[in-house]
Structure 1
Amino acid sequence: MLPSGQPAGPTAGGLAYLALGDSYTIGEGAAADERWPVQLATLGRKRGIMLAEPEIIARTGWTTGDLSAAIANARLTKTYDLVSLLIGVNNQYQGQSVAMYRTEFRQLLGTALGLAGNRPQRVVVLSIPDWGQSPFANGQDRARIGAEIDQFNAAARQECQSRDIAFIDITPLTRAAAGDNNQFTRDRLHYSGAQMGKWAELVLPTVETVLK
């Protein structure tokens, strides 16, 4: 959706955590320690969950297909204690179909599950933020964008439910951010550490239940 960010590398020690996604996972425009997976790991450690700093495979502009290709190219060989997945906004932004998204998302879920040692409770999926409520979307059809995001999220939720994988709905938080510039980075599209911190807090109880 905007110029490409760079994937972050892993930090050794603690429970291995792999975060998969796009610009919303790398926190485009925010500091590295403000990325929601990093904030999640920090919150977890405060609660006695010894999560390592996350290994992140994500880049701005990636669709489900791009992410699948990047995971394959990474040639990952180890099993992770936690795998998170947040992907799909660029499928919607580029006008791809929900049917195509569902197919590729289903494949990604299978990959994530394998990387989590075939333990569905160790995989967590976050819903797609509604970028239509960002300042970047001024002058665009916000209602259409929101309706399409809902369709993509419904498909993701159904696929997660079919595999007993946790689906965390952060979309309402992103809609509530409308009109508050403190919730966005300078590009007016991506989210600030303050907003991403809310996502981490929403995910934390699920992770805590599984890993404690």
Structure 2
Amino acid sequence: MSYHSIVIRVFLVFLPLFLWAQENSISFLALGDSYTAATSEKTENGWPYHMVDYLLKKDIPISEPVIIAGPGWTTTTLMAEVKSAPLKNTYGLIGLMIGVNNQFRGLSPEVFETDLLDLLDTALGLANGDSTKVFVVSIPDWGVTPFARFRDKNRITQEIAAFNQIIQSQAEKKHVLFIDVTKSSRNMLVQPGLIASDSLHPSARMHKIWGKIIGKKLLKQL
């Protein structure tokens, strides 16, 4: 039997297992803004991919993320994009990280809360109403980045804290997991390597840290 024949036979033996693994893996939808889209880095260096890598190493069968996110997106932008995106009817896991541009543009917390509730309801609908399949991630503190050096850093921190309080409160009401990455984001103040070349967004290293934080939290309920 030739080498190529052996390779083909081995492939055919394991193909059903591969297809079964693909069909039975957890589908993952990541919704958000520049942080979810890994702006200033390669998309595959973003936290959704690092989170998937972490879970795969823990023997959790999960698919490559489907990402609906973009730089400058507010809650209103994200909602419109989600409604127009060709999504599946259901997903096994849905992550939401949104709000920094609402704060950056000075939009009201009231509008943010209303939009956030709509997004959470949409996520829950895509999860067949199962709140254990939905999680929300806190807004990082961009006030510690060089980009904010001529701005009121204390105000940025306080406003982000207020928005994060809304996120946590609504997540608890919806029985959805809230994951804090804000504390870790403040390490960008003393570790320049955690900041991307644009002096604002997180680097691949920061995203990897977030992916591990998020993955560890999810591991308890997957």
Q: TM-score, normalised by structure 1?
A: 0.91
- Stretches of structure 1 that go unaligned for 5 or more consecutive residues are 1-11
Match of 2:97 among 86, 98, 120: 86
Show CA shifts across 1:35-56 (max 9, x none).
Answer: 1000100111010011100000
Residue 61 of structure 2: SS of its match in structure 1?
coil
Amino acid at match of 1:99: E
Q: Which residue does the alignment assign to 1:112?
A: 123
Q: Which residue does the alignment assign to 1:192?
A: 203
Q: Which residue does the alignment assign to 1:34?
A: 45
Percent identity reads: 38
Q: Which residue does the alignment assign to 1:51?
A: 62
Residue 160 of structure 1: SS of its match in structure 2?
helix
Where has structure 1 moved over 4 Å in runs of 4 or more?
Answer: none
Of Structure 1 and Structure 2, the greater helix share is in 2
Amino acid at match of 2:142: W
Amino acid at match of 1:73: S
Q: Distance in 1 between matches of 2:128 and 2:210?
A: 25
Show CA shifts across 1:129-182 (max 9, x none).
Answer: 111111111111000000000000001110000011010011011112213220
Show CA shifts across 1:172-201 (max 9, x none).
Answer: 111122132200111010001111111111
Query: What is the count of residue pairs matched by the alignment?
Result: 200
**Quick check: 1:128 aligned with 2:139?**
yes
Counterparts of residues 97-176 of structure 1 (less than 5 Å): 97-176=108-187
Show CA shifts across 1:11-37 (max 9, x none).
Answer: x93210000000000111112221100
Paired residues of 1:135 and 1:179 also in contact (CA < 8 A): no
When Rg is computed on C-alpha atoms for both structures, the one with the higher figure is 2
Q: Distance in 2 between matches of 1:35 and 1:142?
A: 25
- Stretches of structure 2 that go unaligned for 5 or more consecutive residues are 1-20
Amino acid at match of 1:70: E
Q: Distance in 2 between matches of 1:210 and 1:118?
A: 16
Q: TM-score, normalised by structure 2?
A: 0.87
